Every structure is written in C-alpha cells, then in structure tokens.
Structure 1
Amino acid sequence: MTVSAKSEYACIAMIELAARYEADQPARLREITEAQGIPQPFLVQIMAQLKAAGLVQSTRGSTGGYRLAQAPDRITLADIFQVIEGSGDQAESNLQRPTPAAQALCGVWGKICQERTKILEDVTLASLATRVAEQPDEMFYI
C-alpha cells in the first residue's frame, strides 16, 4: 500500500495533537515541525484542510495554536484520509477497453479498498498516541 507523504504527515501531526489533548494546550506549527520533522509548508496546507473539515481547531495569538476538535478516541485514520485524499473506496480500471480479466481484477481492487477502509476506521488517534507513549525513547551515542 502506498501512502502519500501528505497523508502520512497529516496522521503524524494528528497523533502529536492527540498526545497533547489531555493537557488542553494548543500546539504551534513550529512545535509540531520540530517534534515530528514535518516540513512547515506541508504542515500549513494540512492543518488548513483539517481545520476546514472540523477535525482541528485553531486559536490565534501568543498562546494560540492547533488542537483536536474532538477527543482522540473519536477520530480515526479513516477521518484523516478522507480529508486529505478524499474517498478512496473506488477501484477503477485504467484500461480503455475493460475485458473480463480487467473486470475481475477491478473486483479485487474494490475488495482491497474496502478492507483498507475498515482497518483505517478501526484505528483511533487515542490508540496510536498510546502506542507512541509506550515506545522507549531511542538514544544515539556518538
């Protein structure tokens, strides 16, 4: 499965916001880019899309930033993918003349898309933030 950089960055940014949800402190773009290594131009576009979709809220000012619009256990990866990629449930043939073999393959592609959607709907930001918090910090020594 190929995931676009924009979708992956969106998920990572949302996991960062989920980790900060209980503290009820907004995260500045700079903090997210530094913590997660997301290029700022990408992050600006991503946060604008997520805000327009109602997944994040923003606050202006010196204490402003972004926060989740809902609890992390109510936001799934499917919600994020829907905003960034649109509906990914369609599987279409790229062939000019669909043959029976191409139609059979298209049925398989459709099943794959359905399973992908089911998996994305089952994974919440809360579960991912918990998984991240349980991972030990890696130390690099020179």
Structure 2
Amino acid sequence: MRVSTKGRYGLRAMVDLAEHEKGKAIPIREISERQNISEQYLEQLFATLRKAGLVKSVRGAHGGYMLNHEPEDISVGDILTTLEGPIAPVDCVIDKEEFCNYIDKCVIHELWEELADSIKNVVDNMTLAELKDKAIKEHSDRSDVQ
C-alpha cells in the first residue's frame, strides 16, 4: 500500500491546521507557505475534507478553514480514508468477489486481511491531536537547538 500525495499532503495540512487554528480560521495561503504545498492543491484537498465533515470553511476577510471537530476526535484513519479511499494492501481485501476469482483457493488472502487490519488499527487509533503534539514538540526542539 502506498499513500499518495493526497494522503500525505492532506495529513500534513490537517496537522498544520490543528497546530495553528487556535479558535480562528486559517487561510489556505498560510498553510501553503508553511507546508510548501500549492494553494490550488490544498483547495482540492480541503474541499474533499469539508465534504466529509472534517473541516469547515469560513468566508470573508478573515476566512479560511477550521477543524470541524476537536483534534482528539479525528483519527489519522478518518483523514486518510477520506482522501485515499479504503486502506488495503490489495484490492481483494476491499471487495473479494469483484477483484479476485481465486479467493476460495488463495492461501495468501488471510495474510492480506491481517495486514489491512494492522494498518487500520494503527491509523484508526492515532489521533490528529497526537500528531499535533508531536509537531509542537518538534518545532520546540528545533528552536531550542538554534
């Protein structure tokens, strides 16, 4: 399983939003500058995240995006599946009948299911708050060194 730029950049943008919002909307431009991701690409990602109810948009001079839930209530799995779709190492784990004619004879299928369950367990049990805290610590550690 490979996470595409949608998942990687979207997760980085959501951590940035969680870290910096402090009760006010954050313009895409600011996230774009901090994360070195194009504004146009971020707009596409945030449109998808907004439709899924993970963020909300605020219009106007002080507009931008805000989290729609507390960071503790948003899992990495919520973000990744919103942007990437189902998390699975192979398609037959998602839909056995559609993707595999060999499923009833396949000795490897159980391995793929266990791998998918393990990945799902990790991403569903890590919250945006945990990543936000790691980011804050990382930024603090860097400023202590300088």
Q: TM-score, normalised by structure 1?
A: 0.86
What is the rounded CA distance, in whole Å, between the counterparts of 2:20 and 2:101 in structure 1?
A: 51
User: Structure 1: which 4+ aligned runs deviate by more than 4 Å?
Assistant: 93-97
Backbone CA RMSD of aligned residues: 2.5
User: Structure 1 unaligned runs (5+)?
Assistant: none
For residues 29-49 of structure 1, the C-alpha deviation after alignment (integer angstroms, 9 at most, x for no partner) is 110010011122221110000
User: Structure 2 unaligned runs (5+)?
Assistant: none
Deviation for aligned residue 1:20: 2.3
Match of 1:112 in 2: 115
Q: How many pairs does the alignment contain? A: 138
Match of 2:142 in 1: 137
Question: Structure 1 residues 96, 64: CA separation in 2 closer, same or farther (over 3 Å shift)?
Answer: closer
Q: TM-score, normalised by structure 2?
A: 0.83
For residues 60-118 of structure 1, the C-alpha deviation after alignment (integer angstroms, 9 at most, x for no partner) is 111010010000000000100121112224642898762877x1222211111111011
Aligned ranges for residues 29-108 of structure 1 at < 5 Å?
29-89=28-88, 91-92=91-92, 98=102, 103-108=106-111
Question: Structure 1 residues 95, 121: CA separation in 2 closer, same or farther (over 3 Å shift)?
Answer: closer
Question: Structure 1 residues 110, 99: CA separation in 2 closer, same or farther (over 3 Å shift)?
Answer: closer
Question: Structure 1 residues 108, 59: CA separation in 2 closer, same or farther (over 3 Å shift)?
Answer: same
Identity of aligned residues (%): 30
Greater percentage in helix: 2
Question: Structure 1 residues 96, 25: CA separation in 2 closer, same or farther (over 3 Å shift)?
Answer: closer
Question: Structure 1 residues 100, 46: CA separation in 2 closer, same or farther (over 3 Å shift)?
Answer: same
